[in-house]
Amino acid sequence: MARALRERGVEVTLIGSYQQHPIQMSGPTKMVWIGPARPGWLYFVPFLLRAWIRVLYEIVFHKNRVVILDVATFCCAFPVDVLSKLGLVHVRVVMDLRTFDFGSSGQEDSFGDRMRKLLTIVALLYGRMLHFGLSAITPRLASRALELGGNRHVTVWGSGHSAPPTIEVRSPHPTLNAIEGLAANGFLVLYHGSITENRGLARAIDGIRMARQRGARVFFAIVGSGPAEGLLKDRIKELDCHDCVGIFPAIPQAGVFKLISYCRLGVMTYPDTDYWSYNYPIKLAEFLAMGKPVLCTDIQTFKDAVGDPRCLVIVRDAKPETIADAILACIQDPDAMALRSGVAERQSREMTWGARAGELLQFIQD
């Protein structure tokens, strides 16, 4: 998103407290990691001063005019607001909201969830006083922010994909080689991303096995890693379905479009929980960019993410037998699949980072 904004002539400072993957930013667009604050005033005060200095440095010396921060770093906006009121800088502050900020981790409600929700309420009220803009990943999340007292200047940006998608890979990868072999021998269903218990993967495995038992030459490739990987491997072993289900190591982001190009159908049969109702199915845009329909559960967030739901194969629930029926229907009706693929490609043109950046830029300028 920041790169897309930069292409439109807007320099951005991104402020984050948690770095999951290394991010390389060049030029004036800068990703500033300030790290989590440790408990206690002796730790918090130096942390806060260091954060303020780093943010001011980016604004003064790089002359960035937009600061995008998150709930955990909302305190970094204070010196920006002071300088703006003095007329020394003209900076737009946007606080970006995520599902877990609202105490919804997708697992059981925990003390950490409740504390994040409390922090979010404080950040929203602070942002309302300083007239922050708010960005949320889904319409439902934006509505929730308003209910909790957030500024009414809010936008929904969802997620996107790089355009145009490229399937050229500089060096071969064992996972891609294995997936290519599966795709050549049957109808390939693909999941790629984090492997956790709240993504419906165990039931999808059961559904694939049922479809296979009913005569379909179907394969299910799960590409990624995560805490539930061991549980899924145990499930595959228990069902003795190694011939139709496999778990493969994650691949670099540069190879994702190549990976998706091998499949016939993406699968995102997530359970209908608050976590997914507030969230955005981030991998959806990547599947659609390659013209691949996606099998998904009947959750509003999927319908909000696309303008034309014909690119989706929506099932009423995530039961294995329902998933099996849907996959068999896809295999038996290639014309319907071709129609879905065409709709997917058209939808993906509205889901590029460039398109998202245009929407965010309009919001920033308003």
- Domain-located, residue 329: yes
- pLDDT above 50 for 45: yes
Question: Confidence band (pLDDT; 50, 70, 90) for 231?
Answer: very high
- pLDDT above 60 for 172: yes
- 114 & 198 share domain: no
Count CA within 13 A, CB hemisphere, residue 366. Answer: 15
- 219 & 360 share domain: no
- Domain-located, residue 168: no
For residues 139 and 182, which has the higher predicted lDDT (pLDDT)? Answer: 182
pLDDT tens column, 13-39: 777 665 544 444 444 445 565 555 555
| Phi, psi (rounded to 5 degrees) for 265 | -150, 130
For residues 24 and 154, which has the higher predicted lDDT (pLDDT)? Answer: 154
- 127 & 251 share domain: no
Preceding amide of 293 cis, omega within 30 = no
- 41 & 156 share domain: yes
CATH number where 89 lies: 3.40.50.2000
- The mean pLDDT value for 195-203 works out to 94
Nearest alpha carbon to residue 84 among 102, 69, 65 = 65
Domains in the chain, number: 2
- 42 & 190 share domain: no
pLDDT tens column, 70-121: 887 888 888 888 888 888 888 888 888 877 666 555 555 667 677 778 888 8
- Residues of the domain holding 18: 2-160+352-365
Question: Confidence band (pLDDT; 50, 70, 90) for 123?
Answer: confident
Nearest alpha carbon to residue 29 among 49, 3, 51 = 3
pLDDT at 1 (0 to 100): 66
Nearest alpha carbon to residue 127 among 188, 194, 69 = 69
- 206 & 315 share domain: yes
Please name the residues in contact with 106: beta carbons below 8 A apart, sequence gap of 6 or more: 99, 196, 198, 273, 275, 276
- Domain-located, residue 167: no
Question: Confidence band (pLDDT; 50, 70, 90) for 213?
Answer: very high
- Domain-located, residue 33: yes
- 98 & 216 share domain: no
- 137 & 283 share domain: no
- Domain-located, residue 169: no
Please name the residues in contact with 75: beta carbons below 8 A apart, sequence gap of 6 or more: 48, 51, 126
For residues 27 and 293, which has the higher predicted lDDT (pLDDT)? Answer: 293
Give me the helix-helix angle, 201-213 and 320-332, nearest 10°. 50
* CA distance linking residue 352 with residue 7, whole number of Å: 13
Kindly list the strands in the beta sheet with 92-97, ordered across the sheet, starting from the edge strand earlier in the chain: 30-33, 12-16, 66-70, 92-97, 133-136, 154-156
Dihedral sign from CA coordinates of 61, 66, 69, 74: positive
Please name the residues in contact with 360: beta carbons below 8 A apart, sequence gap of 6 or more: 1, 5, 94, 135, 155, 157
- 202 & 154 share domain: no
- Domain-located, residue 165: no
- 141 & 181 share domain: no
- 253 & 213 share domain: yes
- Domain-located, residue 166: no
- Domain-located, residue 133: yes
Q: Distances in Å between the alpha carbon of 231 and those of 142, 202, 319?
A: 34, 8, 18
pTM > 0.95: no
pLDDT at 41 (0 to 100): 54
- 52 & 123 share domain: yes
